[in-house]
Amino acid sequence: MDVLSDVLSAVRLTGAIFFDHHVQGPFAGASPASEAIADKVMPGAEHVIQFHAVLSGSCWTALIEDPASSRPLEAGDIVTYPMGDTNLMSSSPGMSADPDLAMYVRPTNRRLPYTFRNGEGPESYHIVCGFLGCDSRPFNPVLEALPRQFLARLSAATQGWLLNMLRVAADESEFGGAGSETMLAKFAEVMFVEVIRNYVAHLPEDSRGWLSGLRDRHVGQALQLIHGRPAYNWALDSLAREVGLSRSVFADRFAQYVGVSPMHYLGRWRMQLAARRLVESTVSIAQAGAEVGYESEAAFNRAFKKHLGLPPGAWRTGRLSDTAVGALEGK
C-alpha cells in the first residue's frame, strides 16, 4: 500500500494551473488568502493550497504577514503554501504589493491558465502559479504535517521532466486543444506529489510528524497496514505484533511520529474514508459505516459524531449543499 497516494486520493486532491506569468523586473505580486478566492479558483473544494513554480529568473517569496519568512527562489524551485496564506512574489526582498481579487475568476470564454506578459526591465522572469483543492476534514494527515510555507529544490533530473511539463502547461494556455485544461490539472497534481516526495526526502533524520513516520521502518509499516485494511478489526496488540515491536514500544514510537495513538489514527482515517463515500455516492449511512469496519449503524453514528461533532446524515447534507453552492459561485 502506497500510503501517500492513498491519502491524496481519499482527500480528493484536484489541481488547476491558473497563471502563466512572463514579467520583467522589478516586479512584486501578491496572492490573496485562499479562503478569499476558493469559490472562484477551485469551486466546491473545501480547502485550497497555493503554489508558484519558477521556470526562469531568480526572485523572492514570503508570507505577507511574516517578513522573516522571505526566501530566495531560483529557476527550478517551487514554493507551496499549504494553508493558502496571503503571500508575495517579488524580484527583490522587502518589496510590497496588494492582492487583486478581480484576477481570480475562472474564465467562461477561454481556457486556463491566464497568460500575462508585461513591462520591460533588465531581468525577466517566468513563473507558473496554480492551486490544489482538497478536503481538510475529517482528516487530512498530509495537510496537518506540512509547514505553512515550504520550498522544493528539485534535483537536476526531476527539474528536467517537471519543468518541461510546466512549460508544456504554459504552451497549452495559448495553443491547447480539447481537454487541455484537464491535462493541466493533472500536471498540477503530479507536481504536488513530487514536491512532497522531495520534501520528505530532505527532512532531517531526527524530524517527527506523519511524513517522517512514512519512512520509519516500524511506523511506516503500521501505516501501510492501517491504510491497506482500514476495515479490519485492528488492535494495538495486533499492530505491534505485525511490525515486530512490543505493545508499549510501538505505541510510544507511533505517537512520537504521528502525534496520536494508533487506534486514534485508525478512527480518524476511517472517518475520512466514510465521509468521502457519503459525499461521492448514494450509499446508505449503514453501508458507509460497514465499509470502514463498523458492524452497526448506531456504532458508526456515535464514532462519526465524536470525531466531527455532528452525525453522518447531517454531514452529508451540509457537504453536498456546500459543494453545490461553491460550483454555482465559481461560474
Q: What pLDDT does 120 receive?
A: 66
Which positions of the chain have pLDDT values less than 50? 325, 327-328
Q: Alpha-carbon distance 119 to 171, whole Å?
A: 20
For residue range 201-254, what is the model confidence (pLDDT) as tens digits?
889 989 999 999 999 999 999 999 999 999 999 999 999 999 999 999 999 999
Q: Exposed, middle or buried: residue 194 (CB in 10 Å: 0-12, 13-18, 19+)?
A: middle
Closest by CA position to 236, among listed 220, 255, 217 = 255
The pLDDT score that the predictor gives to residue 162 is 65
In whole angstroms, give the CA distance from residue 309 to residue 272.
14
pLDDT at residue 48, as a whole number: 97
- Lateral strand order in the sheet of 66-73: 28-31, 87-90, 59-63, 66-73
Domain segments of the chain as ranges: 3-201, 210-323
Instruction: Report the topology of domain 210-323.
Output: Arc Repressor Mutant, subunit A (1.10.10)
Cα–Cα distance, 244 to 196 (Å, whole number): 28
CA 144 and chain centroid, separation: 10
Query: Are 3-201 and 210-323 the same fold in CATH?
Result: no
Residue range 189-216, pLDDT digits in tens: 888 998 999 899 889 989 999 999 999 9
CATH number of 3-201: 2.60.120.280
Supply the DSSP string of 216-239, one letter for each residue. SHHHHHHHHHHHH-TTS---HHHH
pLDDT of res. 328 = 46
If you ran DSSP here, which 8-state letter would residue 101 be given?
G
User: How many Cβ atoms sit within 10 Å of the Cβ of residue 157?
Assistant: 8
